[in-house]
Amino acid sequence: MSDAEETIPIKDEYAIVAARSAGKTISSKCGFGLVDQTRISTAISELARNILVYAVTGTVYIREVAADGKHGIEVVAEDHGPGIVNLDLAMTDGHTTGGGLGAGLPGTKRLMDEFDIISAVGEGTTVTVRKWL
């Protein structure tokens, strides 16, 4: 059922643009309206930017998903960077260690329906977000 899928290696800002673009294409294909497409692409930007800032390189996977009769989009941002030492803190509004305007994580969480984060210090971070139609 879920056929649309994209894997985008993140190594520079152009890759972020590519990930956004792929996110928009897939979300549009899933049937999301312009408002949600914008939310999704903004969230992808944040996740990809986090990879660039904190882990330097990583990968963003975007795919159409279906579960429990729901249909939507899933974005997985994975890196093998330093990991997040204090997850609770990283999820606090306004907290930043990367010199940004506060971490994109809380903002990303607000833009999507589901948000999961797994992080191990020294091993990396995987953020999975979903938005349902």
Partner 1 sequence: MTHESELREEYSKLLRGFLESGDERYLYDIENISKEFVRANIGPDYILEAHLNTLNKIVSEFPVDKAVYIYNKASEPLFNLMVAYATAYHDYIAMNEERYLREKQLADELNDANRNQEMFISIMSHDIRSPLTAVVGYSGLIQKWSNDDEKIKRFAEKIEMTAMEIDRMIESIRTYSRVKKGNSKEDFDEIDLKVTLSEIFEFLDEKIQVHGTKIERRYRTDRDYMALGTEFLKNAYLNILDNAIKYSPKNSIISVTLDDTGSDLKFGVADHGDGVPDEMKEAVFERFTRNDKCGIKGSGIGLAIARHAIESHGGKVWIEDNPGGGCIFYVTVPKA
- Where does this chain bind partner 1 (CB under 8 A)? 13-14, 16-18, 20-21, 24, 34-35, 38-39, 41-42, 45, 92-96, 100-103, 106-107, 110-111
Pick 14 or 69: Cβ nearer partner 1: 14
- d(Cα 133, Cα 124) in Å, to the nearest integer? 30
CB of 32 to partner 1, least distance (A): 13
Pick 13 or 123: Cβ nearer partner 1: 13
Q: How many CB atoms lie within 10 A of CB 108?
A: 24
Pick 55 or 103: Cβ nearer partner 1: 103
The values of phi and psi at residue 65, to 5°, are -135, 155
- d(Cα 79, Cα 124) in Å, to the nearest integer? 5
